[in-house]
């Protein structure tokens, strides 16, 4: 923790310099960060894919998200306006001025080790805040690479590189950030369980929190849908990033009249999914991130079977080097407890619904289907 205190102290001191710089000038620095990342786009994308396991187009696309956020933040730096408010007192007016918080903490997860940082850090920087970043302990290489590039931009502008400070470490670093009164705002991305802990620790010291936590997304397909288009959409929503996204489609609600047709087509496209080296062109499904991720997947499959789920396709690990598993489609009741859980892997629950003549009852039935699998 000596390293944490050293880095945090430097960042806290640098905040005095950074917040005094006019917002458009801060935007210019962020523009340069975007250009520096753009020059290393493919190198960083390859590193991200190699370390995290997502396919190369996703790795490159994620780094591009930070570049896009830099571009957005540059424009925002000239729009950080307050208000002039009429006063009830003669010859008086009230002025609204937005001031930087000082230091913003950003704790990111393994599945998007770059993009989530960009969403938070780019905005925080143009608003005059320094950033303390804790990357995931399993993706230290991309954390270090990103930090070196960002730090070099600050140094070229004769500014303290500690304006952007990063730490590699485990839960002890995240807890230190959550408890640190020098950090008035903490952004956390990860599981609901850990997010609740972060929220409690930050709130206990009257800090502010931004939380992006677990998901269990659903897609509803009606009888008049363009089935081939919907099938392709469901495929990427459920299989992309090997199902390791809070926005992954986990629950597929199909109108009874198209249920079997849709599933037949979906199974066929699933069979065509190329599984393998995420760095190779044409691969659609790379490995899960860690051995623990694969074990969690297999435990989830056991729970699905024990709760009456029928495996239509997949449901097994692949015997090979790496943490590869089969993309899986399951028929299951929405009332099964496992459906209410976020299984972080390429598992899709297919469920059938009926539509009655009364539109209001139809809406109620769909809401019931969606809510019962979340409650």
Q: Catalytic residue numbers?
A: 212
Question: In terms of Cα–Cα distance, which of 278, 347, 363, 328 is closest to 58?
Answer: 278
Torsion of CA 166, 170, 171, 173, to 10 degrees: -30
The answer to whether 150 and 123 are in contact (CB under 8 A) is no
What are residue 170's phi and psi, to 5 degrees?
A: -100, -150
Pairing of strands 217-221, 249-255: parallel
Torsion of CA 117, 6, 180, 110, to 10 degrees: 30
- Copy the structure tokens of residue 177: 């950030």
Is 221 strand, coil or helix?
Answer: strand
Question: In terms of Cα–Cα distance, which of 370, 329, 340 is closest to 220?
Answer: 370
First to last CA, the chain: 40
d(CA 216, CA 219): 10
The answer to whether 73 and 27 are in contact (CB under 8 A) is yes
d(CA 142, CA 69): 18
The answer to whether 317 and 294 are in contact (CB under 8 A) is yes
- Copy the structure tokens of residue 311: 């495996």
* 8-state DSSP, 107: E
**Could you tell me how many helices (H) and strands (E) the chain has, helices first?**
12, 12
d(CA 298, CA 81): 52
């Amino acid at each position: 923790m000596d390293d944490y205190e050293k880095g945090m102290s430097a960042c806290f001191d640098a905040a005095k310099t950074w917040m005094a710089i006019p917002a458009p000038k801060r935007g210019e620095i962020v523009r340069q960060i975007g250009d520096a990342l753009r020059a290393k786009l493919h190198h960083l994308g390859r590193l991200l894919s190699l370390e995290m396991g997502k396919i190369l187009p996703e790795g490159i696309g994620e780094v591009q998200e930070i570049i896009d956020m830099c571009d957005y933040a540059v424009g925002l730096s000239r729009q950080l306006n307050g208000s002039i408010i009429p006063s009830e007192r003669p010859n008086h007016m009230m002025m609204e001025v937005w001031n930087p918080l000082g230091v913003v903490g950003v704790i990111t997860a393994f599945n998007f080790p770059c993009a989530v940082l960009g969403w938070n850090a780019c905005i925080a920087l143009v608003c005059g805040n320094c950033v303390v970043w804790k990357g995931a302990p399993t993706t230290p290489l991309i954390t270090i690479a990103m930090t070196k590039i960002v730090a070099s931009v600050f140094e070229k502008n004769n500014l303290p590189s500690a304006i952007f400070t990063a730490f590699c470490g485990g839960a002890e670093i995240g807890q230190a950030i959550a408890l640190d009164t020098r950090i008035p705002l903490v952004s956390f991305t990860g599981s609901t369980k850990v997010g609740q802990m972060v929220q409690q620790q930050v709130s206990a010291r009257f800090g502010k929190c931004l939380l992006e936590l677990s998901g269990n997304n659903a897609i509803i397909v009606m009888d008049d849908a363009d089935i081939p288009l919907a099938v392709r959409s469901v495929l990427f929503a459920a299989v992309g990033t090997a199902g390791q996204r809070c926005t992954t489609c986990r629950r597929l609600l199909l109108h009874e009249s198209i249920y079997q047709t849709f599933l037949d087509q979906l199974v066929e496209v699933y069979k065509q999914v190329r599984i393998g080296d995420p760095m190779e062109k044409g691969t659609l499904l790379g490995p899960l991130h860690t051995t623990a991720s694969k074990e969690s997947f297999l435990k989830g499959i056991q729970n699905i079977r024990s709760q009456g789920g029928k495996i239509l396709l997949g449901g097994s690990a692949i015997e090979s080097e790496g943490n590869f598993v089969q993309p899986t489609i399951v028929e299951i009741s929405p009332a099964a407890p496992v459906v209410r859980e976020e299984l972080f892997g390429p598992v899709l629950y297919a469920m059938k619904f009926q539509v009655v003549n009364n539109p209001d009852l139809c809406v109620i039935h769909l809401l019931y289907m969606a809510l019962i699998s979340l409650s």
